[in-house]
Amino acid sequence: MNLNFKTARRLVMVFMIASLICALGGMIFIRPGTQASVYVVLLALILMLLALLFLFAFCRCPWCGKRITSGMMKVEVCPHCKRDIDTGIKRKGKKK
């Protein structure tokens, strides 16, 4: 399985947000110590793990294969090889 960087990044976001919603919702609506709270915590953890999995497995440059983590959510150009994530065209200097 090989995911497009931008798709992987979106999935990471989705899983992170779902996990947070789960954790927050659980804290607000479910009494701690009940069985439901255990499920919610587990679900939040699983979602968080999925997010991390996608982050580490697929959030890498499609051109040089190096992992992109810093500013990953908005990066358009690989910080390692300076290629555009979409097109693979090398960007030099300040040329837009």
| Least spacing, CB of residue 84 vs Zn ion, in Å | 10
**Residue at token pair 């040329």:** 95
Q: Of 52 and 81, which CB lies nearer to Zn ion in the complex structure?
A: 81
Contact call for residues 78 and 69 (beta carbons, < 8 A): no
Residues present in the chain in total: 96
User: Nearest CA to 7 among 85, 71, 93?
Assistant: 85
Q: Of 38 and 66, which CB lies nearer to Zn ion in the complex structure?
A: 66
Q: Of 6 and 46, which CB lies nearer to Zn ion in the complex structure?
A: 6
| Least spacing, CB of residue 74 vs Zn ion, in Å | 16
| Least spacing, CB of residue 93 vs Zn ion, in Å | 17
First-to-last C-alpha distance (Å) of the chain: 33
Instruction: Provide the binding-site residues for Zn ion, judged by CB under 5 A.
Output: 61, 63-64, 78, 80-81
